[in-house]
Amino acid sequence: MTPPSTTHLHVALRAVAIVFGVNPEAIVSRNRAESLCVARHAFCVIATEHQTATREEVAAFLGNRHLDTIAHSITTALAMIATNDKFQNRIIRTIDAIDTQKTVCPNCGGNGVL
């Protein structure tokens, strides 16, 4: 069975995809387009800071990425939150969407919402 924190990673991924205007599958892909990298950074920081997933869980969820990649992504996102109002706003909107949406996440078997 999937650990509780990882079941909610689907919810976070979907919320990031909606707010950042990208496809959830593209966030998980190896594509390095800027819009996807920014969304991926957002996902990593939200998954670890808001959803309390471990870096290992996030790395596995994103296709077995290296832990240093996840750490870099989180560091980049935190720097962007501190210096980029648009990015900070998107993070806040994403977290709000996760916290307030009532639509059941189809990937979580009813365990997550969005």
What CATH number does residue 30 fall under? 1.10.1750.10
Task: Name, in order, each residue with C-beta under 8 angstroms of 34's C-beta and a sequence gap of 6 or more.
Answer: none
Asked if the structure places residue 113 within a domain, the reply is no
Owning domain of residue 28: 4-108
Asked if the structure places residue 18 within a domain, the reply is yes
pLDDT tens-place string over residues 28-49 = 999 999 999 999 999 999 999 9
Domains: count for the chain: 1
Q: Give the closest residue to 105 by CA, choosing from 6, 4, 14.
A: 14
Asked if the structure places residue 83 within a domain, the reply is yes
Arithmetic mean of pLDDT, 61-89: 98
pLDDT at 6: 52
Please tell me the distance from the alpha carbon of residue 80 to that of residue 3, in angstroms, as a whole number. 29
- List strand residue ranges (DSSP E) for 46-103, in order: none
Asked if the structure places residue 114 within a domain, the reply is no
In this prediction the pTM is 0.84
